[in-house]
């Protein structure tokens, strides 16, 4: 059920034609000086690839099917880019805020809960893969 809600909301976002990624990164950079320092140099292509992966994970009902990808991505972010695991919930909060703003009146409690649950799952999966 939640996946259908997320899918429907993302389809609505596509129809609006706005740049959710640009808004999300702007909100993230406002919330996190550390995140800005790590990521503001990224070009639109890299940011677009990152957003595509986030959308894919949002649409994945069972994240255990993404074990290999999540293991690789977590290790890569930690060891190559020095991304602290504390930035993931900050980014996801910025994403949720961007989606909410884009959907406007279509952002209901049901939609909010579906996105919050899935974003929390994604964060949990990534953070548990970080080494101490």
Burial of 114 (0-12, 13-18, 19+ CB in 10 A): buried
Domains annotated for the chain, with CATH where assigned, are 2-129 (1.10.490.10)
Beta-carbon contacts of 33 under 8 Å, excluding residues fewer than 6 positions away, are none
Q: What is the mean pLDDT of residues 19-30?
A: 94
* 86-115 pLDDT tens trace: 999 999 999 999 999 999 999 999 999 999
What percent of the chain has pLDDT above 90?
A: 86
Report the percentage of the chain scoring pLDDT > 70.
98
Residue 91's nearest CA partner among 126, 56, 61 is: 126
How far are the Cα atoms of 3, 67, 98 from residue 93, in angstroms, in the given order?
Answer: 18, 23, 9
- 72 C-beta neighbours (distance < 10 Å), count: 11
Question: What pTM was estimated for this model as a whole?
Answer: 0.93
User: In angstroms, rounded to a whole number, what is the distance separating the alpha carbons of residues 61 and 76?
Assistant: 24
> pLDDT band at residue 130, thresholds of 50, 70 and 90?
very high
């Amino acid at each position: 059920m939640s996946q259908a809600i997320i899918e429907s909301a993302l389809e609505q976002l596509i129809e609006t034609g706005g740049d959710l990624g640009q808004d999300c990164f702007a909100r993230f950079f406002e919330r996190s000086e550390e995140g800005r320092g790590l990521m503001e140099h990224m070009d639109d292509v890299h940011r677009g690839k990152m957003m595509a992966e986030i959308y894919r994970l949002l649409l994945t009902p069972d994240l255990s099917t993404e074990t290999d990808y999540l293991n690789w991505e977590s290790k890569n972010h930690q060891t190559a880019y020095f991304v602290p695991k504390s930035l993931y919930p900050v980014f996801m909060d910025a994403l949720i805020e961007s989606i909410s703003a884009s959907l406007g009146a279509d952002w209901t409690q049901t939609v909010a809960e579906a996105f919050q649950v899935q974003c929390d799952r994604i964060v949990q999966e990534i953070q548990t893969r970080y080494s101490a």
